[in-house]
């Protein structure tokens, strides 16, 4: 009889044994096999928290296997193990591997080493290579004695990525980071806007019952697997490939993915994305409904579910929120926003700027595009644009985004635009003509945020994505990226933004070839030394949750991970040489000070050949004469009678006189009477400025009160017509319904301020407010002559708080009672409400309580009883929802071991 002692993952105790029958695969007879399940090796592999009956291991990690025989075994000729993954009966060395029992280790390969022979037993240490394929495995052993070979099935196991293994591409050196980005089963997602950041608790639940098997199903249901299962499985050794597959599978646009997206107000045939509290219920629903897409998700739901899947597979992952996130569809680095003459937003272009957008970052080496670009990689499963015909995004190197290396593929241009694009605002007149209002190069990509390690604080990681706004480095990177985009894709060639990198992605996506001499151990540690040295701390925004500098919450990046210095520095080849561009021209062509020399703005036309290099180029968008061009020599006889406003007395245009001086004000009676034609004011200098100021708190159920503050920037009276409007909007900027319009006329005295009061009663937004509680207020200010001024403000209304209190200290496997209290914020009754409670390690299923009716301003309390089944810090999430509002809250509970 052959007895196998194989450690496995199970909920039974170490001493408990299960009896199995193991068939003789040679067909001669059936042998009884006894399997003892133990958690010792699982703890070493950091897999003991998975709630599954399968044996779960990490690649590159050894484990103990004991073969027990009923009689002494002396004369065996060979003992050969076989591990197989992928489709059944697959052939090929990357899918099925055989390795014999030996007396020594073989680095980088599957191997089994005889450790000892106590009695009739063989104690064997088995190990997988650090670049092994991850997934489900079958293991068997063939024993040859006296010329006869018999094969026995030893069962199954699941192999995962290993951030604890020095030679694994996902290796992460710091234990606190591994606990946060791999083992933490709950987290915080940041939402709202850059001026008012809110927190959303989320239950990732990657260790919950059956979640690991569902994650394996996600890999086995992707389009590549259906087309060529052997090829697909053979590439699952690469986190680059696995991450890209998961990015496509979380949404359901072209495949058999998990979630269907919907950006609307009506979710009657599914679940409002704001009602989800965690990933577990979503993944369970997907499997239960025979893998039909779950309705519905939006960006934070897609990102949270992908975080669950990737952490479950062993890839260090975190959730990132980008505030004022650009969605640039044509690759021109401009996001065009259109408003009508009443200030209402018009959806006449596919470009948009979302109040926030949520994606993921994963940590691994980049063998495919260069080790310098290793570290955090952007993966985005929200279906925005197609990449190679499938809605997915990444993995995009965060370092490549910061350096403007958009030629690297993997959707780098799209991610670069999300954090760097310019916002261009247009006024559309009734005849269809457009008038450019202004360009804002600093609006997009603010307060890029993630959860801190070991706390719920916000970490600002904007400095990882770009240099400080307005700095020479930031302008240089922007110009470099713009040049790449113009070189490789002209406007006439644009059909779909994501198609611009198809060729490079096809090249990049070839299966990664392992390089034994270059491992995570030798290459990852220098990465963050170079990376951190090129970053600057960001400035916290006012009225936001207190940011925590990432470099103060983690150990020194140089002590953690990194790569060799970036090419182009310290005497190495230049960045332009590395990226295949010509050597950098002289200062007259591409220096940051001379931005006008872009491909689309030829500064040196024949007609303007008399301009010396010291002169500032004459751009069509800068018709005003700049100080650099102030000296009008006799040779420049282009001053026709129609332009005789430039008298000798006004020959020199000093910077102090560029503003609206009496001599140059095109709108003053004195100026128009004394000259044949008025001067043309600089369109980039408005006559007025303005902003909205909120009066009092913004709470669902209350009236909205604010004032529009206007300032006259000229020394002349300015008559102004103000068109006011307000709309309920989605966080994507899409207008749901108009709720307010008004028009005011006023005259502002020279250099003086004025204000316009705005009040929006609750009754006007009650029926159209979605669960995001977002309202956009717009003021379009018109002057008799000159450009219009557009002023906007996005409002996020607060829900009332929800209070969670635990009675006593929670103990493992002991009944715990909690009290939940909140109040109806409205002056009207609400009905058909529900309360949802969930939390990994606290409740194994979501708890639901029905609240049929709630009086105006009524307070209510609930008692919840639960029995924690995991110790440590756990997160309880509570969600009260009804037609008019949704109240969410969470509480951290420290569950002590009993």
Cβ atoms within 10 Å, residue 37: 21
* Residue of 561, 79, 46, 534 whose CA lies nearest to 312: 46
Task: Count the Cβ atoms, other than its own, within 10 Å of residue 725.
Answer: 23
Strand order in the sheet with 434-440: 345-346, 334-340, 422-428, 434-440
Element (H or E) spanning 576, and its range? helix 575-578
**670 vs 29: CA distance, rounded Å:** 112
CB 552 within 8 A of CB 566: no
Q: Could you give the 3-state DSSP secondary structure of residue 226? A: helix
Note every long-range contact of 465-469, with CB atoms under 8 Å and residues 24 or more positions apart, other chains counting.
465/398, 465/401, 465/402, 465/419, 466/401, 466/402, 466/419, 466/420, 467/402, 467/536, 468/536, 469/441, 469/442
Here the tokens at position 146 are 């006296």
Q: Which residues are CB-neighbours of 534 under 8 A, at least 6 positions away?
A: 402, 566
Annotated active-site residue 299? The verdict is yes
Q: Furthest-apart CA pair in the chain: how many Å?
A: 118
* 3-state SS track over 163-188: CCCCCCCCCCCCHHHHHHHHHCCEEE
Q: Is 260 known to sit in a ligand binding site? A: no
Q: Which residues contact 694 (CB under 8 A, 6 or more apart)?
A: 705, 706, 795
Whether 380 is catalytic: yes
Name the catalytic one among 327, 357, 391, 463. Answer: 357
Q: Which pair of structure tokens corresponds to residue 548? A: 């925590």
Is 281 annotated as contributing to ligand binding? no
Whose tokens are 């986190």? That residue is 239
| 235, 236, 238, 239 alpha-carbon torsion, rounded to 10° | 140
DSSP 8-state assignment for residue 47: -
Choose the catalytic residue: 111, 215, 299, 393. Answer: 299
Count of CB atoms within 10 A of residue 583's CB? 7
**Alpha-carbon span 731 to 263, nearest angstrom:** 9
Q: Is residue 16 a known part of a binding site?
A: no
Residue 885 — left, alpha, or beta (φ > 0 → left; ψ -120 to 50 → alpha)?
beta
Token output for 515: 């390089």
Nearest to 794 by CA among 776, 779, 778: 776
Q: Give me the catalytic one of 380, 405, 411, 794.
A: 380
Q: DSSP secondary structure string, 51-97?
A: -SSSEEEETT--EEEEEEESS----EEEEEEEEEESSTT--STTTEE
Q: Are 730 and 354 in contact (CB under 8 A)?
A: no
CB-based contacts of 870: which residues, under 8 Å, 6+ apart?
Answer: 49, 812, 840, 841, 895
Q: Is the dihedral of CA 284, 840, 259, 314 positive or negative?
A: negative
Residue 422 annotated as part of some ligand binding site: yes
- Do residues 414 and 334 make contact, with C-beta atoms less than 8 angstroms apart? no
- The residues annotated as belonging to the active site are 299, 357, 380
């Amino acid at each position: 009889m052959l007895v196998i002692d194989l450690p496995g993952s199970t909920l039974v105790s170490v001493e408990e044994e299960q009896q199995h029958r193991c068939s003789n695969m040679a067909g001669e007879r059936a042998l009884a096999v006894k399997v003892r399940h133990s958690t010792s090796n699982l703890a070493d592999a950091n897999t003991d928290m998975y709630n599954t009956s399968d044996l779960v291991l990490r690649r590159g990690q050894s484990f103990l296997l004991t073969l027990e025989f009923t009689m002494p075994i002396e004369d065996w000729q060979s003992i050969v193990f076989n591990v197989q993954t992928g489709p059944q009966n697959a052939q090929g060395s990357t899918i099925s591997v055989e390795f014999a029992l030996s007396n020594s280790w073989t680095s980088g390969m599957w191997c089994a080493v005889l450790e000892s022979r106590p009695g009739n037993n063989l104690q064997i240490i088995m190990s997988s290579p650090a670049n092994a394929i991850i997934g489900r495995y079958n293991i068997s052993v063939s024993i040859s004695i006296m010329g006869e070979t018999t094969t026995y099935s030893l069962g199954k196991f699941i192999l995962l990525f290993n951030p604890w293994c020095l030679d694994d591409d996902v290796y992460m050196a710091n234990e606190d980071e591994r606990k946060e980005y791999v083992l933490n089963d709950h987290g915080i997602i940041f939402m709202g806007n850059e001026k008012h950041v809110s927190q959303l608790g989320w239950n990732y639940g990657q260790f919950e019952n059956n979640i690991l098997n569902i994650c394996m199903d996600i890999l086995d249901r992707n389009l590549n697997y259906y087309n060529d299962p052997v090829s697909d499985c053979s590439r699952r050794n690469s986190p680059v490939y696995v991450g890209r597959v998961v990015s496509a599978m979380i949404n359901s646009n072209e495949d058999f993915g998990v979630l269907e997206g919907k950006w609307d107000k009506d979710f009657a045939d599914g679940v409002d994305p704001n009602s989800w509290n965690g990933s577990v219920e979503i993944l369970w629903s997907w499997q239960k409904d025979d893998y039909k897409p779950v309705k519905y998700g939006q960006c934070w739901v897609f990102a949270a579910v992908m975080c669950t899947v990737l952490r479950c597979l062993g890839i260090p992952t975190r959730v990132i929120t980008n505030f004022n996130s650009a969605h640039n569809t044509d690759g021109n680095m401009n996001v065009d926003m259109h408003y009508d003459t009443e200030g209402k937003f018009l959806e006449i272009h596919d470009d948009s700027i979302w109040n926030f957008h949520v994606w993921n970052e994963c940590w691994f080496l980049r063998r495919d595009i260069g080790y310098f670009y290793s570290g955090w990689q952007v993966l985005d499963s929200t279906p925005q644009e197609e990449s190679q015909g499938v809605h997915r995004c990444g993995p995009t190197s965060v370092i490549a985004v910061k350096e403007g290396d958009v030629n690297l593929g993997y959707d780098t241009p799209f991610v670069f635009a999300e954090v760097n694009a310019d916002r261009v605002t247009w006024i559309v007149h009734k005849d269809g003509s457009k008038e450019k209002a202004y360009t804002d190069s600093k609006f997009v990509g603010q307060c890029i945020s993630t959860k801190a390690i070991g706390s719920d604080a916000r970490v600002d990681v904007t400095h990882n994505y770009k240099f400080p706004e307005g700095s020479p480095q930031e302008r240089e990177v922007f110009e470099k990226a713009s040049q790449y985009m113009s070189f490789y894709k002209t406007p006439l060639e644009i059909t779909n933004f994501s198609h611009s990198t198809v060729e490079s992605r096809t090249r990049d996506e070839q299966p990664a070839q392992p390089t034994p001499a270059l491992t995570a151990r030798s290459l990852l540690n220098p990465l963050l030394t170079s990376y951190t040295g090129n970053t600057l701390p960001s400035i916290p925004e006012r009225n936001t949750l207190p940011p925590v500098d990432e470099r103060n919450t983690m150990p020194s990046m140089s002590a953690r991970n990194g790569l060799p210095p970036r090419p182009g520095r310290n005497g190495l080849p230049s960045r332009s040489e590395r990226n295949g561009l010509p050597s950098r021209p002289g200062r007259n062509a591409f220096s940051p000070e001379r931005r006008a020399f872009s491909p689309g703005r030829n500064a040196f036309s024949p007609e303007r050949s008399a301009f010396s290099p010291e002169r500032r180029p004459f751009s069509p968008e800068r018709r005003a004469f700049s100080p650099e061009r102030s000296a009008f020599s006799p040779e420049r006889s282009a001053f026709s009678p129609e332009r005789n406003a430039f008298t000798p007395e006004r020959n020199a245009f000093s910077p102090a006189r560029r503003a609206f001086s009496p001599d140059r004000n095109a709108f003053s009676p004195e100026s128009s009477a004394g000259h044949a034609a008025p001067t043309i004011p600089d369109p980039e200098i408005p006559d007025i400025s303005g902003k909205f100021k909120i009066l009092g708190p913004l709470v669902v159920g209350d009236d909205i009160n604010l004032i529009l503050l206007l300032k006259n920037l000229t020394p002349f009276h300015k008559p102004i017509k103000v068109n006011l409007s307000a709309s309920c909007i989605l966080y994507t900027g899409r207008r749901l319904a108009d709720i307010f319009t008004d028009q005011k006329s006023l005259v502002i005295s020279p250099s003086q301020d004025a204000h316009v009061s705005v009040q929006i009663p609750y009754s006007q937004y009650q029926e159209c407010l979605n669960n995001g509680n977002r309202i956009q207020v717009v003021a379009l200010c018109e002057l008799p002559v000159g450009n219009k001024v557009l002023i906007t403000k996005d409002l996020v209304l607060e829900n009332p708080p929800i209070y969670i209190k635990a009675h006593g200290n929670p103990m493992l496997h002991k009944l715990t009672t909690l009290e939940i209290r909140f109040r109806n914020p409205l002056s009207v009754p609400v009905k058909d409400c529900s309360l949802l409670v969930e939390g990994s390690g606290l409740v194994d299923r979501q708890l639901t309580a029905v609240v049929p009716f709630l009086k105006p301003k009524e307070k209510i309390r609930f008692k919840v009883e639960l029995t924690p089944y995991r110790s440590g810090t756990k997160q309880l999430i509570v969600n009260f929802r009804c037609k008019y509002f949704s109240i969410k809250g969470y509480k951290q509970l420290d569950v002590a071991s009993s």
